[in-house]
Amino acid sequence: MTPKQLLLFNSLSSYIEKSLGAKTLVTARDTGEMRRLNSILGEKAKFVGTYGKNKKEKLTAEAERIIELAELVDSFSPDYLVSYPSPSAVRVAFGLGIKTVIYSDTPHAFHVHALTIPLSDYFIFSSFIDKIKFERFITKGGWTRIFRYKGVEELAWVEGYIPNEEKVRKYGLEPYKYFLVRPPEIFASYYGWGTEGFKRIVKRLSENSKVALIPRYDDDALRYNDLNVEIISEPVLGLDLEYYSIATVSGGGTMSREAALLGVPSVTLFPLKIDVDAGLRSLGFPIYRATSYEEAMKIINGILTGSIKRVSESAAGKLEHPAIPLQKILEGDI
């Protein structure tokens, strides 16, 4: 349902196809950003349904998506659904008698977990996340089995990445001479904070440094076009832009974790504490949380003065690949 999820399940799909010889069907919610990313990933995903911005639109879009998914999934006849907590996908799987495996690293997303975990057979999440944060969604006496791994989902597509600076220069950017920013996910059901604080930071950065911005929504190009920033409007995987940046600044967590896994300092301005971010930080990855404009600028100044540095050590050996528990479930080992 989001670019991060498309990256995750595109990677897990390929992993399972190669390791188990399984056939997979990848579906995605239809948005402009998702279509752009899917084109980069080889058009593997089939688009089913769209999203809503307010409560009624969300409800209507979910209902329509359930109907479309039911037809497609019934004709494919799978043994398992592997999903982020997608209410429409889980409802279809439950209705058709298909076993359900859920991944998540966002216990703050109350709405989708309440609608999915009680109907799911397996639930996979990082051991960095305190189990108690998910317990409220697990029905007492229910059948949901929990499996944890020491890692983060972003490792699924960051592992094996090879830098290519030509992909950065094509945007007129000089390697290691710019900041990369990504706005917050303001239309998510759990998001209840404004954008002015983030925009203030972007404005300050753009006054003295080159800034490239990867939009999250089509509206973002308009929301930030009054600032002196390079808006990356064409399809892009963000890893090259992240790797060659001075640092990344994001209103969410995915780009920050990708950058940190690459050894690049990253600042996340998500208002809540994210356990997987804290887990990476405890292992020495350069990911930093800011809760205010002043705190963000203090971290950024530390990056500019060299007191906060890039990390060259590889993530290999420190983290477990998120596909491992899934493979064990599908092979019947756990």
pLDDT digit string (tens) for 132-177? 999 999 988 888 999 999 999 999 999 989 999 998 999 999 999 9
Which of 114-128, 225-239, 266-280 bottoms out in mean pLDDT, i.e. has the lowest?
Answer: 225-239
Task: Give me the mean pLDDT over the 280-294 stretch.
Answer: 92
- The burial class, CB within 10 Å (0-12 / 13-18 / 19+), for 333 is exposed
Res 334: pLDDT: 65
Domains parsed from the chain with CATH numbers = 3-158+319-331 (3.40.50.2000), 166-305 (3.40.50.2000)
Other CB atoms within 10 Å distance of the CB of residue 68 = 16
Whether 274 and 258 have beta carbons less than 8 Å apart is answered as: no
Q: 270: pLDDT confidence band, cut at 50, 70 and 90?
A: confident
User: Per 3-state DSSP, what percentage of the chain is helix, strand, and coil (rounded to 5)?
Assistant: 40, 15, 45
**For residues 155-179, b (16+ Cβ closer than 10 Å) or e, as one string?**
bbbbeeeeeeeebbeeeebeeeebb
Map tokens 């190009």 to a residue. Answer: 221
Q: 221: pLDDT confidence band, cut at 50, 70 and 90?
A: confident
More confident residue, 31 or 113: 113
Res 190: pLDDT: 41
**pTM, full prediction:** 0.90
pLDDT digit string (tens) for 129-138? 999 999 999 9
pLDDT above 90 (res 91): yes
**Torsion of Cα atoms, 72 then 73 then 75 then 79, to 10°:** 160
Q: 318: pLDDT confidence band, cut at 50, 70 and 90?
A: confident
pLDDT digit string (tens) for 41-74? 999 999 999 988 889 998 999 999 999 999 999 9
Following DSSP, what letter does each residue of 117-179 receive, concatenated?
A: GGG-SEEEEETTS-THHHHTTSPTT--PEEEEESS-TTHHHHTT----THHHHTTTPPTTSEE
Q: 193: pLDDT confidence band, cut at 50, 70 and 90?
A: very low
Amino acid at 209: S
More confident residue, 309 or 226: 309
Would you state the structure tokens that stand for residue 122, as one six-digit string?
């397996």
Would you state the structure tokens that stand for residue 117, as one six-digit string?
């975990």
Which stretches within 170-292 are classed as H helix? Answer: 196-208, 220-223, 239-243, 254-261, 275-282
pLDDT above 80 (res 189): no
Would you state the structure tokens that stand for residue 213, as one six-digit string?
């911005």
Please give the Cα distance from 34 to 304 (Å, whole number): 33
Beta bridge partners of 146: 123
Whether 49 and 68 have beta carbons less than 8 Å apart is answered as: yes
Which of 29-43, 144-158, 209-223 bottoms out in mean pLDDT, i.e. has the lowest?
Answer: 209-223
